[in-house]
């Protein structure tokens, strides 16, 4: 991998473009990048192992040929998307809030004032969710603080340049193209003192690039004038590179690693099950007195039976006896159930089928325990990324998560009502499971208005 020191050396030797070209080519050929591309396929329910699987036959010499006569159903499961979405939505499905948020009365309405979140932009929750989901799939994603909001850089479009001594991100290149081989490639080089844009030269393709926009600062002050064009009167940068990595886990690897073998096994067993059913319970034939038939003759006889469902033999001298072999249904269903359980258990996810209807909150909490432990590790990575963004803009605050989980609502409601005499109205509404946070303010406002009307009526 290329580092920030390699970048500095190439820059001092005036071979920056050659370095960018070589570094991006090496990055796109790396094992981590290839795993990220495969993870995208699994995320889209195009599991590469099962989608590329073909049945083969081997002759007496060991040569393999594609068995085009056999059923070849390729059933891809959706486990990877289901698991990564569950982990991400569990922690970030309700967005994040911050510890410094306070309640206030604005125009007679009770509202929560979260100045930190206001400074991060209106789309911060959605950007953070997408970045966290990409980090789980690819291994890492990057949050770019773009003046007053965050942008997402996926691992498959951003090449980082880390410092060899402290491991911090010091520079990086973002690249994209509609067609890497036939359309222009655009590259943006991000450094501490600004960013520079490069593009494929006119009449060329790929990474035959040249600078088309000179380096500019991350922040510019522009004077607007009705007569003259807008004029840049000031430029400044941040104290840090405004790009923060968000890792999917402490292992710093894609969640597909380790899970892929189990998902592939599940898909292969399920596809094989469907293929056996399509091939009529594995019917086969024994031909008597056919010793004169060689391998080629036997193959032709088998293909004719499977394709045309009819074959001509001398039944007096070479009788044909069909046999059937029952599909091991119970064994395969047991294996599929075992694999499904193992996938959820190893990932620390919640399989809703394991929670019985009417289960108490104690049983539900026990089912959520592995998921809570994995969420703690995941949220730790998210917290580090968010605090990195807050350091760039000069805010000292701590993000808070509202985990998205199911519960026995009747049991929770009964518990809240038993303790209602010791709680204020707002706390009661927050604890009730069937009331959303958005509804609390309107309920309190309506109750305040009703109380005010009751006070004013006797006075009149």
* Domain termination site, one of 305, 328, 353: 353
Q: 308 and 207 share a domain? A: no
Domain match, 174 and 301 both: no
Question: Comparing 219 with 314, which gets the higher pLDDT?
Answer: 219
Domain match, 235 and 264 both:
no
Answer yes or no: is pLDDT of 281 > 70: no
Query: Is residue 157 in some structural domain?
Result: yes
Residue 194: inside a domain? yes
User: Is 177 strand, coil or helix?
Assistant: coil
pLDDT, one tens digit per residue, over 404-420 is 777 666 777 878 888 88
Task: Spell out the residues 6+ positions from residue 338 whose beta carbon is closer than 8 angstroms to its own.
Answer: none
Higher pLDDT among residues 18 and 297, named by residue: 18
Domains held by the chain: number: 3
Does residue 58 surpass a pLDDT of 80? Answer: no
Please give the residue that has the higher pLDDT: either 282 or 442. 442
Q: Which domain holds residue 186?
A: 4-247
> Residues 223, 151: contact at Cβ < 8 Å?
no
Shared domain check, 243 and 292: no
159-184: average pLDDT: 94
Report residue 389's pLDDT band, with 50, 70 and 90 as the boundaries: very high
3-state secondary structure of 202: coil
d(CA 124, CA 144): 12
Report whether 282 contacts 276 (CB < 8 A).
Answer: yes
Query: What pLDDT was estimated at residue 150?
Result: 95
Query: Phi/psi at 299 (nearest 5 deg)?
Result: -65, -40
d(CA 114, CA 120): 10
Secondary structure E strands in 130-256: 140-145, 150-154, 158-162, 169-176, 186-191, 194-200, 209-216, 219-223, 231-236, 243-247
Question: Does residue 401 sit in helix, strand or coil?
Answer: strand
User: What average pLDDT does the structure give for the chain?
Assistant: 84
pLDDT of residue 288: 64
Tell me the mean pLDDT in the region 328-345: 86
Looking at the structure, tell me whether residues 122 and 231 fall in a common domain: yes
> Are residues 117 and 181 located together in one domain of the fold?
yes
Cα–Cα distance measured from residue 249 to residue 246, given in angstroms and rounded to the nearest whole number:
9
The residue among 177, 181, 127, 116 whose CA lies nearest residue 150 is 127
- At residue 70, the pLDDT reads 66
CA distance 333 to 28: 40
The rounded distance, in Å, linking the Cα atoms of 132 and 152 is 10
Q: Is the pLDDT of residue 356 over 90?
A: no
Last residue of a domain, one of 215, 247, 279: 247
* 275 touches 71 (CB < 8 A): yes
Nearest one of 440, 459, 396, 428 to 119, comparing CA atoms: 396
Give the pLDDT confidence of 63-117 residue by residue, as tens digits. 776 666 666 778 889 999 999 999 999 999 988 989 888 767 666 666 678 889 9
Q: Determine the average pLDDT of the residues in 239-262.
A: 93
Residue 220 is predicted with a pLDDT of 80
Torsion of CA 350, 352, 355, 359, to 10 degrees: 110
Q: Is residue 371 part of a domain?
A: no
What's the pLDDT score for residue 333?
85
Domain boundary among 221, 247, 273: 247
Span of 36-45, 73-82, 271-280 with lowest mean pLDDT: 271-280
DSSP state of 201: P
CA dist., res. 196 & res. 188, Å (int): 6
Q: Residue 236: helix, strand or coil by DSSP?
A: strand
Q: Which phi and psi (to 5°) does residue 316 adopt?
A: -75, -40
> Taking 90 as the threshold, does the pLDDT of residue 185 lie above it?
yes
Question: φ, ψ for residue 385 (rounded to 5)?
Answer: -70, -45
Where does the pLDDT of residue 233 fall: very low under 50, low under 70, confident under 90, or very high at 90 and above?
confident
| Residue 364 placed within a domain | no
User: Average of pLDDT values for 39-49?
Assistant: 92
Q: What tens digit of pLDDT does each residue of 110-151 get?
A: 667 888 999 999 999 999 999 999 999 999 999 999 999 999
In a domain, residue 187? The reply is yes
Domain-embedded: residue 376: no
Q: Say whether both 123 and 211 belong to one domain.
A: yes
Taking only the tens place, the pLDDT of each residue in 148-167 is 999 999 999 999 999 999 99
| Whether residue 144 sits in one domain with residue 20 | yes
Which has the minimum average pLDDT: 17-31, 45-59, 194-208, 272-286? 272-286
- Tell me what pLDDT residue 448 has: 72
Residues 429 and 338 in one domain: no
CA distances from 343 to 77, 79, 212, 349 (A): 12, 8, 49, 8
Question: Could you tell me if residue 389 is inside a domain?
Answer: no
Q: Indicate whether 241 and 266 sit together in one domain.
A: no
Lowest mean pLDDT segment, chosen from 42-56, 130-144, 278-292: 278-292
What is the secondary structure of 26-87 as a DSSP string? HHHHSHHHHHHHHHHHHHTT--HHHHT---EEE-TT--EEE-TTS--------HHHHHHHHH
- The reply to whether 230 and 268 lie within a common domain is no
| 401 and 89 Cβ atoms separated by less than 8 Å | no
Per the structure block, which two tokens stand in for 253? 């690897």
113 and 228 in a single domain? The answer is: yes
Residue spans of beta strands (DSSP E) within 293-378: 320-324
* Of 275-289, 365-379, 427-441, minimum mean pLDDT range: 275-289
Confidence of residue 427 (pLDDT cuts 50, 70, 90): confident
- Tokens describing residue 99: 């510890």
In order, the DSSP letters of 211-234 are: EEEEEE-SEEEEE--SSSPPEEEE
Q: In this structure, are residues 128 and 96 in contact, taking their beta carbons and an 8 Å threshold?
A: yes
What is the band of 444 on the pLDDT scale with cuts at 50, 70, 90? Answer: confident
Q: Which of 52, 79, 75 is nearest to 258 (CA)?
A: 79
pLDDT for 452 equals 66
In a domain, 399, yes or no: no
Identify the weakest region by mean pLDDT among 184-193, 385-394, 405-414: 405-414
């Amino acid at each position: 991998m290329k580092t920030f020191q390699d970048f500095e050396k190439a820059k001092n030797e005036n071979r920056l473009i050659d370095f960018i070209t070589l570094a991006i080519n090496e990055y796109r050929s790396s094992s981590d990048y290839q795993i990220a591309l495969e993870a995208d396929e699994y995320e889209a329910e195009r599991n590469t192992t099962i989608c590329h699987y073909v049945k083969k036959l081997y002759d007496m010499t060991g040569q393999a040929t594609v068995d085009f006569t056999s059923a070849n159903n390729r059933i891809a499961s959706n486990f990877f998307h289901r698991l990564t979405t569950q982990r991400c939505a569990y922690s970030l499905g309700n967005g994040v809030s911050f510890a410094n948020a306070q309640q206030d009365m604005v125009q007679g309405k009770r509202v929560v004032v979260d100045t930190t979140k206001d400074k991060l932009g209106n789309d911060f929750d959605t950007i953070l969710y997408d970045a966290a989901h990409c980090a789980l799939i690819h291994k890492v994603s990057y949050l770019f603080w773009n003046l007053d909001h965050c942008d997402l850089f996926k691992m498959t479009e951003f090449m980082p340049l880390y410092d060899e001594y402290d491991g911090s991100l010091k520079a990086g290149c973002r690249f994209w193209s509609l067609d890497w081989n036939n359309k222009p490639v655009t590259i943006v080089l991000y450094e501490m003192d600004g960013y520079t844009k490069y593009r494929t030269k006119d009449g060329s393709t790929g990474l035959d690039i040249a600078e088309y926009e000179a380096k500019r600062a991350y922040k510019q002050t522009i004077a607007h004038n009705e007569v003259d064009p807008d004029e840049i009167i000031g430029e400044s940068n941040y104290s840090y590179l405004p790009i923060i990595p968000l890792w999917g886990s402490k292992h710093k690897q894609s969640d597909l690693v380790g899970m892929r073998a189990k998902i592939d096994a599940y898909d292969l067993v399920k596809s094989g099950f469907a293929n056996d059913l399509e091939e009529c319970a594995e019917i086969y034939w024994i031909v008597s007195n056919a010793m004169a038939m060689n391998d080629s003759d036997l193959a032709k006889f088998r293909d004719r039976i499977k394709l045309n469902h009819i074959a001509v033999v001398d039944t007096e001298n070479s009788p044909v006896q069909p046999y059937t072999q029952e599909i091991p249904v119970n064994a395969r269903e047991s294996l599929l159930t075992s694999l499904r359980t193992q996938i959820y258990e190893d990932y620390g996810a919640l399989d809703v089928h394991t929670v019985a209807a009417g289960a108490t909150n104690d049983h539900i909490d026990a089912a959520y325990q592995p998921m809570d432990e994995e969420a703690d590790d995941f949220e730790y990575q998210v917290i580090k990324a968010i605090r990195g963004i807050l350091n760039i803009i000069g805010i000292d605050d701590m993000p808070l998560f509202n985990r998205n989980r199911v519960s026995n609502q009747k049991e929770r409601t009964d518990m809240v009502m038993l303790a209602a005499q010791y709680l204020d109205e707002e706390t009661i509404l927050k604890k009730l499971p069937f009331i959303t946070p958005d509804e609390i303010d309107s309920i309190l406002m309506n109750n305040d208005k009703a109380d005010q009307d009751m006070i004013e009526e006797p006075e009149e």
